[in-house]
Structure 1
Amino acid sequence: MAIDRRFFLIGAASLGLTACSDPKHSFNREAGASIDEGGFGNPTMHNTMLQSGQISLAEVMTRRFHAEVPSMVNFAFDSAHLDDEARSILRMQAHWMRQFPELRFTIYGHTDAVGTAAYNVRLGQRRADAVMRYLVSQNVPRSSIIAVVSRGETQPLIASEGYEPANRRTVTEISGLVRRHTRMDGQYARIIHREYVASATEQHRPE
C-alpha cells in the first residue's frame, strides 16, 4: 500500500507541475515568479551562488545592464561629437543608471588605428568625457561614474589598421557598488515598488 501511495504522490506532483507550466495559468502566481524560466533549479542555483559569494551582485547587475541597455555608442572618424543615435542610447543608459544609485560605472573610450597611438589616447579620452558629460546632464550623479578611461586603439572590436567605424566607440561598464548599506528613501523605495509591480503585470501575447 505504501508503494501505491508513493506513486499517487508522484502523479499528483507531476500534475501540479504541468498546471504551473501551462501559460494560461502562469499569471496566477506570486509576483517575481517570472525569474523561473521553467527550470526551477537555475534560479535556485543562481540565488545560492549569490548568497555564498561565488558570484557578486555587480556581476549579476552587469549581465542585466547588458541585456536591457545598449552599453556602446559610436563616433564619426576623428570626432567626439555625440550624434542623435548616440544621445538616444545614452538617454537609455541614464534612465537605467538612475534606478540603481548603489552601482558605480566606468566609461571607456576607444578609437580605430588611424593616427598615432598618443593622439588616439587623447581622442579616446575626449569621447569618454563627452559621454560622461551627457550622462550627467541626464541627471546621473557624477559620483556614480568613478572613472573615465581612454583605451585608445589598443582594444579594437575588429582587427584593422584602417578606418573601422565599429572601433570608434565608448563602452559603459558597471565597476562595482557602494559597500555601505543603501539608504531606503522614498525615491529608491518607489523604484523597487515599480519593479515588483512590473513583474506581476500580465503579458498579453497575440494568439
Structure 2
Amino acid sequence: MKLVARTLTAQRVRAIGLALPVLTALAACGPGTGGDWNREAGAQIRDAGFGSPTTNNALYHSGQLHYAQVLSQRFAQEVPTTVTFAFNSARLDAEAEAVLRHQAAFMRQFPEVRFSVYGHTDLVGSAGYNQRLGQRRARAVVHHLVALGVERSRLDALVSLGETQPIVATQTEERRNRRTVTEVTGFVERHPAVLDGRYAQIAYRSYVGGSAAQ
C-alpha cells in the first residue's frame, strides 16, 4: 500500500508540474492582467504602427503584417536608419549620403516594400517652422533615395517634430534630434508577389536566394 501511495503521489506531482505552465498561461490571459479572451486576433499588435486592430486582424492572417514586421526588424538591424543634419539645415552631408546608399541598397533588394521617412527637428524655434524644416529634411532624403534608384511611389516623406519625439530632451541645439528616420511601412499593393501572398519569400529573399545558389 505504501508503494502504491508513493506512486500516486509522484504521479500527482508530475501532473501538477505539467499543469502549472498551462494555468500560468491562462492566468496571463485573464482579466486584469493585460490579456482578454474576447480580444480579436491581431489586437495584441495595436501599437505596432500598422493600423487598427480590425485591419491588423486581416493583415496578420494573410501574412502581410507579420512579414512587414519581420522586414522592419531586418531593416533596422542591417541598415543604419537615421540621418542627422546641421542646425537649421536640410542639406545632406557626406555621412548622410553614405547612410542613404545603404538604405537604397536594401530597398532595391525588396521592390515590393514601401518605406516612410520621418523628419525631426530639435526644440529650437517655433512649432510651425520646425514642421516645415522636418518636412524639408524628409523630402531631401526621399529625393536622394530616388536618385539612387528607388521608385518614388514606394517612399513617403512624413514629418514628426523634434518636440514630440526628441532623442535628447533639451531646449538647446542637439544634432541627434535633427534627424530623419526611415522605416518599413508595408507592401506595394499591386505588386505581383504581394498579390500572390508570397510574403515569406519577400521577407527572406536574400536567405532563400543564397541557399538556392549553393
Question: TM exceeds 0.5?
Answer: yes
Cα distance between partner residues in 2 of 1:195 and 1:72: 25
Corresponding residue SS for 1:152:
coil
Corresponding residue for residue 160 of structure 2? 151
Residue 164 of structure 1 deviates from its aligned partner by 0.9
| Structure 2 stretches lacking a partner, 5+ long | 1-59, 195-200
**CA separation of 1:197 and 1:58: change in aligned 2, threshold 3 A:** closer
One-letter amino acid matched to 2:192: T
* Letter matched to residue 158 of structure 2: V
Give distance in 2, aligned partners of 1:114 and 1:121.
12
The correspondence of residues 125-164 of structure 1 with structure 2, limited to 5 A, is 125-145=135-155, 147-153=156-162, 154-164=164-174
Distance 1:127 1:181 in 2: 29
8 Å CA contact retained: 2:154, 2:188: no
Report the counterpart of residue 80 of structure 2 in structure 1.
70
- 1:75-86 maps to which residues of 2 (within 5 A)? 75-86=85-96
Say if 2:168 and 2:174, in contact at 8 Å, map to a contact too.
yes
Q: How is 1:74-113 mapped onto 2 (pairs within 5 angstroms)?
A: 74-113=84-123
Instruction: Give distance in 2, aligned partners of 1:142 and 1:170.
Output: 17
Structure 1 range deviating more: 192-201 or 124-133: 192-201
One of 165, 181, 192 as aligned partner of 1:182: 192
| Residues 29-78 of structure 1: CA deviation (Å, up to 9, x unaligned) | xxxxxxxxxxxxxxxxxxxxx77859611001000000100010000000
TM-score, length of structure 1 as denominator length = 0.63
Say whether 1:114 aligns with 2:127. Answer: no
Corresponding letter in the other structure for 2:149: N
Q: How far off is 1:182 after superposition?
A: 2.7
In structure 2, the partner of 1:19 is none
Larger radius of gyration: 2
Compute the displacement of 1:198 (Å).
3.5
- Which moves more between the two structures, 129-138 or 151-160? 151-160
CA distance in 2, matches of 1:194, 1:176: 18
How far residue 155 of structure 1 moved from its aligned partner, in angstroms, is: 1.1
The total of aligned residue pairs comes to 146
Q: Distance in 2 between matches of 1:62 and 1:131?
A: 18
Counterpart CA distance in 1 for 2:207 and 2:64 is 25
C-alpha distance after superposition, 1:92-150 (max 9, x if no partner): 000000110111011100000001111100100110010000000000001111x2111
Q: Relative to structure 1, is the Cα distance of residues 119 and 52 closer, same or farther in structure 2, using a 3 angstrom cutoff? A: closer
RMSD, aligned CA: 2.7
